[in-house]
Amino acid sequence: MTRKSRCILLILGLVLFLLPLSGCGPSGSVPEQTVVSGRVVLGEDQTTGLAGVSLLIVDEEGSQVETDAEGYYKTTALSTALIIPRKTGFKFTPEQQGVGEKQELKFLALPWEETDFSNWGTQFSFASHSDRVGAIAFSPGDQYIASGSDDRTIRIWRANDGQIVRTMTGHTSAIKAMAFSPQGQYLASGAKDGGIIIWNWETGQEVIALTGHTDLITDLEWSPDGTKLASSGWDKKIRVWDFATGSEIRSFSNKSWVRTVAWSQDGRFLFSGG
Protein backbone atom coordinates (compact mmCIF):
# COMPACT_ATOMS: atom_id res chain seq x y z
CA MET A 1 0.00 0.00 0.00
CA THR A 2 1.90 2.92 -1.20
CA ARG A 3 -0.32 5.33 0.70
CA LYS A 4 -0.33 3.89 4.08
CA SER A 5 2.15 5.10 6.78
CA ARG A 6 4.25 2.42 8.41
CA CYS A 7 5.55 2.90 11.95
CA ILE A 8 7.86 -0.11 11.93
CA LEU A 9 9.39 0.73 15.31
CA LEU A 10 6.06 0.01 17.02
CA ILE A 11 5.90 -3.51 15.63
CA LEU A 12 7.05 -6.29 17.92
CA GLY A 13 9.24 -8.00 15.35
CA LEU A 14 10.95 -6.75 12.20
CA VAL A 15 12.45 -8.85 9.43
CA LEU A 16 14.31 -7.54 6.39
CA PHE A 17 14.61 -9.62 3.24
CA LEU A 18 17.04 -8.86 0.42
CA LEU A 19 15.16 -10.56 -2.37
CA PRO A 20 17.27 -12.62 -4.82
CA LEU A 21 14.67 -12.10 -7.54
CA SER A 22 15.20 -11.07 -11.12
CA GLY A 23 15.41 -7.29 -11.18
CA CYS A 24 15.29 -7.01 -7.39
CA GLY A 25 18.94 -7.03 -6.44
CA PRO A 26 22.46 -8.25 -7.09
CA SER A 27 23.36 -11.91 -7.02
CA GLY A 28 26.49 -14.02 -7.22
CA SER A 29 28.61 -11.79 -4.97
CA VAL A 30 29.04 -11.40 -1.24
CA PRO A 31 28.48 -7.82 0.00
CA GLU A 32 31.52 -6.26 1.64
CA GLN A 33 31.75 -3.90 4.60
CA THR A 34 32.86 -0.43 3.54
CA VAL A 35 33.34 3.02 5.05
CA VAL A 36 30.64 5.48 4.02
CA SER A 37 30.69 9.20 4.73
CA GLY A 38 29.01 12.29 3.45
CA ARG A 39 27.09 15.40 4.36
CA VAL A 40 23.53 16.65 4.65
CA VAL A 41 23.22 20.28 3.54
CA LEU A 42 20.38 22.77 3.38
CA GLY A 43 18.74 22.97 -0.03
CA GLU A 44 18.56 26.78 -0.06
CA ASP A 45 22.17 27.17 1.12
CA GLN A 46 24.27 24.19 0.17
CA THR A 47 27.29 25.52 2.04
CA THR A 48 25.47 25.01 5.34
CA GLY A 49 25.18 21.56 6.89
CA LEU A 50 22.20 20.30 8.89
CA ALA A 51 22.89 18.83 12.31
CA GLY A 52 20.90 16.11 14.02
CA VAL A 53 19.80 14.20 10.92
CA SER A 54 19.34 10.49 11.61
CA LEU A 55 20.56 8.33 8.75
CA LEU A 56 19.07 4.85 8.79
CA ILE A 57 21.49 2.20 7.50
CA VAL A 58 19.34 -0.53 5.95
CA ASP A 59 21.38 -3.71 5.57
CA GLU A 60 21.58 -7.14 7.18
CA GLU A 61 22.59 -5.67 10.54
CA GLY A 62 20.63 -2.41 10.58
CA SER A 63 21.95 0.68 12.36
CA GLN A 64 21.84 4.45 12.25
CA VAL A 65 24.19 7.40 12.49
CA GLU A 66 23.55 11.10 13.18
CA THR A 67 25.06 14.12 11.47
CA ASP A 68 27.34 16.37 13.51
CA ALA A 69 27.09 20.14 13.98
CA GLU A 70 28.31 20.74 10.41
CA GLY A 71 26.07 18.11 8.83
CA TYR A 72 28.79 15.51 8.31
CA TYR A 73 28.51 11.81 9.05
CA LYS A 74 30.71 8.72 8.79
CA THR A 75 29.87 5.06 9.35
CA THR A 76 30.43 1.54 8.02
CA ALA A 77 27.88 -0.39 5.99
CA LEU A 78 27.57 -3.26 3.56
CA SER A 79 27.93 -2.44 -0.10
CA THR A 80 24.26 -3.45 -0.58
CA ALA A 81 23.00 -1.04 2.11
CA LEU A 82 20.56 1.81 1.66
CA ILE A 83 21.07 5.13 3.46
CA ILE A 84 17.81 6.90 4.39
CA PRO A 85 17.86 10.35 6.08
CA ARG A 86 15.19 11.42 8.58
CA LYS A 87 14.57 14.63 10.53
CA THR A 88 11.28 16.19 11.59
CA GLY A 89 10.46 19.30 9.57
CA PHE A 90 12.53 18.32 6.53
CA LYS A 91 12.28 16.24 3.40
CA PHE A 92 15.37 15.02 1.57
CA THR A 93 16.66 14.78 -1.99
CA PRO A 94 17.28 12.05 -2.85
CA GLU A 95 15.04 10.28 -0.36
CA GLN A 96 17.54 7.41 -0.15
CA GLN A 97 20.81 6.28 -1.71
CA GLY A 98 22.41 2.91 -2.22
CA VAL A 99 26.00 2.53 -1.06
CA GLY A 100 27.33 0.41 -3.94
CA GLU A 101 30.83 1.58 -4.79
CA LYS A 102 30.19 5.12 -3.61
CA GLN A 103 32.21 6.44 -0.68
CA GLU A 104 30.65 9.91 -0.38
CA LEU A 105 26.87 10.34 -0.21
CA LYS A 106 25.33 13.80 -0.12
CA PHE A 107 21.71 14.72 0.69
CA LEU A 108 19.85 18.02 0.32
CA ALA A 109 17.47 18.95 3.15
CA LEU A 110 14.39 20.98 2.24
CA PRO A 111 11.96 22.48 4.78
CA TRP A 112 8.73 20.54 4.97
CA GLU A 113 5.79 21.89 6.93
CA GLU A 114 4.09 19.28 9.08
CA THR A 115 0.36 18.86 8.49
CA ASP A 116 -1.76 20.69 11.05
CA PHE A 117 -4.60 18.39 12.09
CA SER A 118 -6.04 20.69 14.74
CA ASN A 119 -8.74 22.13 12.48
CA TRP A 120 -9.66 18.90 10.72
CA GLY A 121 -13.21 17.63 10.91
CA THR A 122 -15.59 15.16 9.27
CA GLN A 123 -16.01 15.78 5.54
CA PHE A 124 -18.15 12.82 4.47
CA SER A 125 -19.78 9.82 6.09
CA PHE A 126 -19.68 6.64 4.01
CA ALA A 127 -22.67 4.56 5.04
CA SER A 128 -23.16 1.76 2.55
CA HIS A 129 -21.52 -1.41 3.87
CA SER A 130 -23.75 -3.74 5.84
CA ASP A 131 -20.97 -5.01 8.12
CA ARG A 132 -17.69 -3.93 9.66
CA VAL A 133 -15.10 -2.28 7.38
CA GLY A 134 -11.76 -4.08 7.61
CA ALA A 135 -9.62 -2.25 5.02
CA ILE A 136 -9.36 1.17 3.38
CA ALA A 137 -6.98 2.41 0.66
CA PHE A 138 -6.46 5.66 -1.26
CA SER A 139 -5.75 5.52 -4.98
CA PRO A 140 -2.58 7.20 -6.29
CA GLY A 141 -3.46 10.86 -6.63
CA ASP A 142 -6.03 10.57 -3.81
CA GLN A 143 -8.99 10.84 -6.17
CA TYR A 144 -10.67 7.60 -5.05
CA ILE A 145 -11.05 5.58 -1.87
CA ALA A 146 -11.58 1.82 -1.72
CA SER A 147 -13.23 0.18 1.27
CA GLY A 148 -13.42 -3.54 2.00
CA SER A 149 -15.85 -5.05 4.46
CA ASP A 150 -16.88 -8.14 6.35
CA ASP A 151 -19.93 -8.06 4.07
CA ARG A 152 -17.50 -9.40 1.40
CA THR A 153 -17.86 -6.40 -0.89
CA ILE A 154 -15.46 -3.70 -2.07
CA ARG A 155 -16.78 -0.23 -2.71
CA ILE A 156 -15.04 2.58 -4.61
CA TRP A 157 -15.81 6.17 -3.56
CA ARG A 158 -14.93 9.56 -5.04
CA ALA A 159 -12.82 11.45 -2.54
CA ASN A 160 -14.02 14.94 -3.52
CA ASP A 161 -17.73 14.37 -2.87
CA GLY A 162 -18.02 10.99 -1.10
CA GLN A 163 -20.15 9.44 -3.84
CA ILE A 164 -19.96 5.70 -4.48
CA VAL A 165 -18.88 4.87 -8.04
CA ARG A 166 -18.56 1.08 -8.00
CA THR A 167 -19.25 -2.04 -5.93
CA MET A 168 -17.29 -5.24 -6.53
CA THR A 169 -18.12 -8.75 -5.33
CA GLY A 170 -16.15 -11.96 -5.60
CA HIS A 171 -14.68 -12.77 -2.21
CA THR A 172 -16.32 -15.52 -0.18
CA SER A 173 -15.18 -14.20 3.21
CA ALA A 174 -14.49 -10.91 4.97
CA ILE A 175 -12.02 -8.53 3.31
CA LYS A 176 -9.05 -7.62 5.50
CA ALA A 177 -6.44 -5.92 3.29
CA MET A 178 -6.32 -3.82 0.12
CA ALA A 179 -3.75 -1.97 -1.98
CA PHE A 180 -3.87 0.05 -5.20
CA SER A 181 -1.13 -0.59 -7.75
CA PRO A 182 1.41 2.25 -8.12
CA GLN A 183 -0.07 3.20 -11.51
CA GLY A 184 -3.55 3.18 -10.00
CA GLN A 185 -5.32 0.91 -12.49
CA TYR A 186 -5.46 -2.19 -10.32
CA LEU A 187 -6.61 -2.98 -6.79
CA ALA A 188 -5.49 -6.01 -4.79
CA SER A 189 -7.70 -7.31 -2.01
CA GLY A 190 -7.11 -10.04 0.56
CA ALA A 191 -9.68 -11.93 2.63
CA LYS A 192 -10.10 -13.82 5.86
CA ASP A 193 -9.90 -17.20 4.10
CA GLY A 194 -6.50 -16.38 2.55
CA GLY A 195 -7.83 -15.55 -0.90
CA ILE A 196 -6.36 -12.66 -2.89
CA ILE A 197 -8.01 -11.04 -5.90
CA ILE A 198 -6.55 -8.41 -8.22
CA TRP A 199 -9.19 -6.20 -9.83
CA ASN A 200 -9.36 -3.70 -12.64
CA TRP A 201 -11.40 -1.47 -10.38
CA GLU A 202 -12.23 0.99 -13.18
CA THR A 203 -14.26 -1.72 -14.94
CA GLY A 204 -15.09 -3.75 -11.82
CA GLN A 205 -13.65 -6.90 -13.41
CA GLU A 206 -11.57 -9.53 -11.62
CA VAL A 207 -8.16 -9.81 -13.33
CA ILE A 208 -6.62 -12.72 -11.45
CA ALA A 209 -7.01 -14.71 -8.23
CA LEU A 210 -3.93 -15.66 -6.20
CA THR A 211 -4.12 -18.84 -4.14
CA GLY A 212 -1.56 -20.03 -1.63
CA HIS A 213 -2.29 -18.55 1.77
CA THR A 214 -4.31 -20.77 4.09
CA ASP A 215 -5.43 -18.17 6.62
CA LEU A 216 -6.38 -14.51 6.99
CA ILE A 217 -4.48 -11.99 4.83
CA THR A 218 -3.01 -9.26 7.03
CA ASP A 219 -1.34 -7.03 4.45
CA LEU A 220 -0.74 -6.46 0.73
CA GLU A 221 1.99 -4.33 -0.84
CA TRP A 222 2.83 -3.70 -4.50
CA SER A 223 6.45 -3.39 -5.57
CA PRO A 224 7.32 0.15 -6.70
CA ASP A 225 7.27 -0.84 -10.39
CA GLY A 226 3.91 -2.60 -10.03
CA THR A 227 5.17 -5.95 -11.34
CA LYS A 228 5.02 -7.83 -8.04
CA LEU A 229 2.71 -8.11 -5.06
CA ALA A 230 3.78 -9.09 -1.55
CA SER A 231 1.27 -10.62 0.86
CA SER A 232 1.37 -11.69 4.50
CA GLY A 233 -0.99 -13.68 6.66
CA TRP A 234 -1.91 -15.59 9.76
CA ASP A 235 -0.44 -18.72 8.15
CA LYS A 236 3.04 -17.36 9.09
CA LYS A 237 3.89 -16.87 5.43
CA ILE A 238 5.09 -14.00 3.27
CA ARG A 239 4.51 -14.59 -0.43
CA VAL A 240 5.74 -12.63 -3.44
CA TRP A 241 3.63 -12.89 -6.60
CA ASP A 242 4.31 -12.07 -10.24
CA PHE A 243 1.43 -9.86 -11.36
CA ALA A 244 1.66 -10.73 -15.06
CA THR A 245 1.31 -14.50 -14.53
CA GLY A 246 -0.25 -14.77 -11.07
CA SER A 247 2.46 -17.24 -10.07
CA GLU A 248 4.21 -17.27 -6.73
CA ILE A 249 7.83 -16.18 -7.16
CA ARG A 250 9.01 -16.84 -3.63
CA SER A 251 7.72 -17.45 -0.11
CA PHE A 252 9.22 -16.88 3.32
CA SER A 253 8.25 -18.53 6.62
CA ASN A 254 8.02 -16.74 9.95
CA LYS A 255 7.92 -18.15 13.49
CA SER A 256 4.57 -16.47 14.13
CA TRP A 257 1.89 -14.83 12.05
CA VAL A 258 2.99 -11.81 10.00
CA ARG A 259 1.27 -8.48 10.56
CA THR A 260 2.63 -6.25 7.80
CA VAL A 261 4.96 -5.99 4.77
CA ALA A 262 6.57 -3.05 2.96
CA TRP A 263 8.90 -2.65 -0.04
CA SER A 264 11.84 -0.28 -0.19
CA GLN A 265 11.44 2.39 -2.85
CA ASP A 266 13.90 0.72 -5.21
CA GLY A 267 12.25 -2.70 -4.84
CA ARG A 268 15.41 -4.39 -3.54
CA PHE A 269 14.24 -4.91 0.03
CA LEU A 270 11.06 -6.27 1.58
CA PHE A 271 10.32 -5.63 5.25
CA SER A 272 7.98 -7.73 7.35
CA GLY A 273 6.76 -7.22 10.89
CA GLY A 274 4.83 -9.43 13.24
- The CATH number that applies at residue 96 is 2.60.40.1120
How much is the CA Rg of the chain, to the nearest whole Å? 21
Average pLDDT, stretch 51-71? 90
Same domain for 106 and 143, yes or no, is no
pLDDT of the residue at 267 = 87
Task: Please check the confidence at residue 71 and state whether its pLDDT lies above 60.
Answer: yes
Rounded to two decimals, the pTM is 0.65
Specify if 139 maps to a domain: yes
What was the pLDDT predicted at 127?
A: 80
Q: Are residues 147 and 106 in the same domain?
A: no
Question: Over 90: is that where the pLDDT of 80 sits?
Answer: no
Residue 126 lies in a domain: no
239 in the same domain as 190: yes
By CB atoms closer than 10 A (0-12, 13-18, 19+), residue 106 is middle
Domain assignment of residue 92, given as a range: 34-111
In terms of domains, do 95 and 157 share one? no
62 close to 84: Cβ distance less than 8 angstroms: no
CATH number, position 223: 2.130.10.10
Same domain, 218 and 137: yes
Residue 183 in this model has a pLDDT that exceeds 50: yes
Asked, for residue 23, whether it belongs to a domain, the answer is no
How do the residues of the chain divide into helix, strand and coil, expressed in percent and rounded to 5?
Answer: 0, 50, 50
Residue with the larger pLDDT of the pair 124 and 52: 52
